[in-house]
Structure 1
Amino acid sequence: MNDRKMVLDGMMGLVVGDALGCPVQFLNREELRERGAVTEMEGYGTYNMPPGTWTDDSSMALATLASINERNGIDLRDIMERFLDWEFHGAYTPFGEAFDEGNTCSNAIYKYRDSHDLATCGETGEYSNGNGALMRILPVCLYFIQKEDISDADALRQIHLATGLTHNHLRCHIASGLYYFIAKAIVTIAPKNADLKTCIQYGLEKGFAFYHTPESLAELMYFQRLRDLNEFFSLPEDEIESDGYVLHALEAAIWCLLHTNRFRDCLLRAVNLGDDTDTTAAIAGGLAGLYYHYEAMPQEWVNAIRRKAWIKRLCLQEL
């Protein structure tokens, strides 16, 4: 697969999911059912923004991608400087102003602004295990998936450091790592006619094997439901949570991928779980985009995306 096309597939999937969930963010499942399920790209709602508006999830992921393009690699300080530019100057946004910033991300950005210390800006507490790093880690994952000469261990060291810029707890590191292994499985074995469930299973098995170490075992237990994918698939919707907790976000995204067989249906399923709708759909959308590809995305959704042409150029490295 063309490396830049892979970036377009994944990143546009993430952005479309983010925009699809933006208008109904924070509505819970019951509230969404009462007002009517999301079936198309909507606008206004929670942030009173027009259709196709994307939020902090896409902004931070696109800032990361821009850094990777320009620096030709992972430059953690450059990534944080771009997060500063986003937070304080509205860079990498649809309309020139940052909005929907998560507390943990904002805290880390402010700490970095004051100290410029990459090692201490990320939050490390138990209650800092939100989904704000998982939602933006895809471009880092894609960079290493392209580098066949770099081992998984070396890739994961950098993915953990990139995660830790804002969310520096081991649980968030593991979530990002599992996401990397799933994305890598989709890119490498889906072209050999592996179905999506097989890709996810293969990626998770590789991830659980990688983290089966004395220092990670206690945290790995939190991801236990994903060990048996058949059993996880059989869980009813009311046992899937879709709030801002990183474990719930990863589980919800995988559950939606398993329960659908089209890009459109996967993202709608994610949004209609309610609560942190934009981030659940962004996390699911990145993987769905890699599997189904850009051409399978509803054209009316893609066309609604604000600054679509700029995003495409960034993904295809034409900037």
Structure 2
Amino acid sequence: MSNIWKDGMLGLIVGDALGVPVEFMSRTELMKNPVTGMREYGTHHQPRGTWSDDSSMALAELDSIRTVGTIDYTDMMERFSRWCMHGEYTPFGEVFDIGTATSRALMNYAKGIAPLESGGKTEWDNGNGSLMRILPVCLYLFERQKKVCTSENESIYMIHAVSALTHAHVRSQIACGIYYFLVKAILEEEGSLENRLQKGMDRAYQYYRQDLSNHRELENYKRLADLSEFKENPKEGIKSSGYVVDTLEAAVWCLLHSHSYKETVLMAVNLGEDTDTIGAVAGGLAGLYYKEEGIPQEWIQVLQRREWIEEVLQGI
């Protein structure tokens, strides 16, 4: 029987590691020399299979959930702080990549600001730093709803709160909420990946449209409302920056244009720019759909600290 935690998290970490060596490279550069497998060195001069802050923060969240048994915002911030300050949850005991908004939020927390008040709330605080790590929370809430009769409002409140630890603007929170609905649809529905993703988007729109205050922010995601139409966008119409809307669009576009895990993440990282995060965001969803056996084993085998990752995943 499939283990959704291993499917999703390995999908995320492998996608992240594929993108690390080419982060910040342009699409034009990668068209000339596309990524076809795990590379070494490159942008951050790291060995093959090295993962970045995307995986570190997701693993910190996962470890918090498995240790505490629930969503504990303070515990998560403590683990994020230990990652940032002491290199915990990293491949080699040091942080080589951290987003500006995340760094600022952790500094706020270190000054004594409450966890849910630490993240930036302005329109300029809409990088992809909470979307990249939200998968473990989505999986926890998916399983929790099966065991305990909880409302969607309660789940979305927690999704938004975990985003707010570093990214508290509603646009980033909605991106994480949409991702949650996509995760649920992949796991619950039958049929093609495109069909499942569309059902997830429909439910996300249905949920957020209930509150009139969300309507303006939902406009930022209007291209994703109809995925058959969105799919027709050429690659030139897909941005791969660190802006949260661009990242979610790029990840979904790659999923719609691929027929395997491998094809999805290679397409994602070859878009260029924020390659590790787009690889991680697309890879998490692709892992859930194609499952662990769909991820190239040679890529999993070269992940740094692979045994430790698998130990953490077995404990959830």
- State TM-score, norm by structure 2: 0.97
Identify the residue that residue 90 of structure 1 maps to in structure 2.
87
User: 1:17 maps to which residue?
Assistant: 15
In structure 2, what is the equivalent of residue 279 of structure 1?
Answer: 277
Query: Does the CA contact (< 8 Å) of 2:11 and 2:280 recur in 1?
Result: yes
Instruction: Note the C-alpha offset of 1:310.
Output: 1.0
* Cα distance between partner residues in 1 of 2:96 and 2:83: 10
Q: Per-residue CA shift, 1:106-149, capped at 9, x if unaligned?
A: 00001101114123210011111000000000000000011122
Aligned to 2:214: 216
Aligned to 1:28: 26
**Residue matched to 1:181:** 181
Taking only aligned residues, the RMSD between alpha carbons, in angstroms, comes to 0.9
Give aligned pairs, total.
Answer: 312
Among 102, 105, 108, which residue is 1:108 paired with?
A: 105
What does residue 295 of structure 2 align with? 297
Contact 2:117/2:164 (<8 A) preserved: no
Alignment correspondent of 1:225: 223
Alpha-carbon distance, 1:43 to partner: 0.8
In structure 1, distance between residues paired with 2:57 and 2:167: 13
Supply the distance in 1 between the matched residues of 2:98 and 2:199 (Cα, whole angstroms): 33
Identity within the alignment, %: 48
Deviations 1:192-226 (A, max 9, x none): 3x110011000000000000021100000010001
For residues 107 and 10 of structure 1, what CA distance do their matches in structure 2 show?
28
User: Which residue does the alignment assign to 1:170?
Assistant: 170
Q: CA deviation at 1:150?
A: 2.1
Q: Structure 2: how far apart are the matches of 1:118 and 1:86?
A: 16
In structure 2, how many angstroms separate the alpha carbons of the residues matched to 1:201 and 1:315?
Answer: 29
One-letter code of the match for 2:207? F
Q: 3-state DSSP class of the match of 2:93?
A: coil
Q: Deviations over 1:25-63 (max 9, x none)?
A: 0001012123x1000110100010000000000000000
Q: Measure the CA separation in 2 of the matches of 1:76 and 1:302.
A: 30
| Residue among 191, 196, 200 paired with 1:203 | 200
Counterpart of 2:122? Answer: 125
**Where does structure 2 lack aligned partners over 5 or more consecutive residues?**
none
Cα distance in 1 between the residues matched to 2:128 and 2:12: 14
Q: Does the aligned pair in 1 maintain the 2:73–2:116 contact within 8 Å?
A: no
- Structure 2 counterpart of 1:314: 312
The alignment status of 1:236 with 2:224, answered yes or no, reads: no
CA separation in 1, counterparts of 2:12 and 2:58? 9
Counterparts of 2:152 and 2:62, CA distance in 1: 20
5+ unaligned residues in a row in structure 1: which ranges? none
Take 2:313 and 2:68, find their aligned partners in 1: how far apart are those partners?
15
Mapped contact 1:144–1:150 kept (Cα < 8 A): no
Q: Choose from 249, 266, 269 the match for 1:268.
A: 266
Deviation at residue 86 of structure 1 after TM alignment: 0.2
Other structure's SS at 2:95 match? coil
Of residues 239, 242, 247 in structure 2, which corresponds to 1:249? 247
1:65 aligns with 2:62: yes
User: For residues 101 and 202 of structure 1, what CA distance do their matches in structure 2 show?
Assistant: 33
Pairing 1:138-177 to 2, within 5 Å after superposition = 138-147=135-144, 148=146, 149-177=149-177
